[in-house]
Structure formats: C-alpha cells, structure tokens
A = this chain, B = another copy of it.
Amino acid sequence: MRYPAPVDRLVAEFARLPGIGRRSAERLAFHIMKSSSPEALKLAEAIQEVKRSVKHCSICFNFTDESACALCMGTGRDASTIMVVEQPKDLLAMEFTGMFKGVYHVLMGRISPLEGVGPADVTIADLLRRIDEPARNAQGRAVSEVILALNPTLEGDGTAMYLAEELHQRSVKVTRLARGIASGSQLEMAHKSVLADALEGRQAL
C-alpha cells in the first residue's frame, strides 16, 4: 500500500529540495492535493516562469529577466568600483544596507578544491575581462577598485587570495571587507579568531 504514483513522485520531488525531509515533503504534497487547482498550479507556473525568463546578467551575473541587470544598466551607480560576492543573495544583503554605490560581480560560487570547484567553475574569467576590457564593464567604465566581499570562510578566503593575486597583476586597487567583532555581539561569546581579527585590525580613535 503506497500513495498513487503521481503523489509518490510529487513527494520525491519536494524531498529533493534543500532542507525538506521526507515528512515535510509529504506534508507539502498533501497541501498541494488539498488546495484548489488554480492555487496549486500557481507554484508550478512560477517555477516554469523562473526557468523560462530568469537569466544571469551578462555583465555581473546577478539574476535578471533582462539581458543585463538593473544595477549594471542604470546610470546612478559608480561602475569604476566592483564588489565581488559569491551569490546573488549576498548582493541583495549588501544592497539592503544602502551603503554601496558601485556595481557588483557575482562569482556564482567560490573556489573549493575539496568539492572540485576550480577557478574556471566560477565567473572569475568574466570579472578579469571586465577589468581588462572596460567596454565589457557596466557603462563601459574602467575599473579602479575591486572590493572582495566573499564569505569569511576557508573557501571564501582562499578565493579572495586567488583573486587578489590575479588582480594585483592589473593596475587596480584591491580591498576586502573589514574583519572584527560584529556590532551587537558580545565579546565573551566571540570566537578567538574573531577577537584576533579585531585586535589585528584595531582602529585609531
């Protein structure tokens, strides 16, 4: 005794999503079965629409439904400064601060030798081309600074090291996000590596 085959298939498809276990997948499938058809089909259509229309920006690799994203196409941003992030959601997190006025480059991952992800598997070559050939950059601008905003992890740091080496061969300023204690956190709870970063990067008052 099992569910009908189409139900089993739906449960299996839900269970392949990240963070969705077998029981959650069953709950979601039952929800789909109980929903009205138009309601349930909206999800199917939203998936199909995304796969049909959402592409990567041809300049920065952010998600877009145009050929280039609104940030690269707009004129309100300083295209001479490129911030390099791992994922589109990192870009969005930075945009929420409203503090950055430059443009982005999304690597779509990071170098991870353990997972078999090399420099060619992320968009590093495209970043270097934006610097080497200003016509390929947003607004056709020459790049003067690259800010590395990778995750402060082993892989993120490794990727930043690799990028810095490549970028230093070009006449471009290379910086990375500051390391230190996080605003709103507690010193006694901070990891020793966080405190070490904070001490090393101490700022004059």
Contact = CB atoms under 8 A, between A and B. Distances in A.
Interface string A109-152: 00000000000000000000000000000000000000000000
A200 interface: no
Contact of A18 (B9, B31, B44, B87): B31
Number of copies of chain A assembled together: 2
Interface residues of A, number: 52
Interface stretch (A47-55, A167-175, A179-187): A47-55
Given A7-B63, A41-B47, A27 B19 contact: yes
B71 A4 contact: no
Contacts of A33: 50, 54, 63
A51 B63 contact: no
5 contacts: A6-B52, A7-B63, A14-B43, A16-B43, A33-B63
Closest 3 CB pairs of A and B: A44-B44, A44-B47, A4-B65
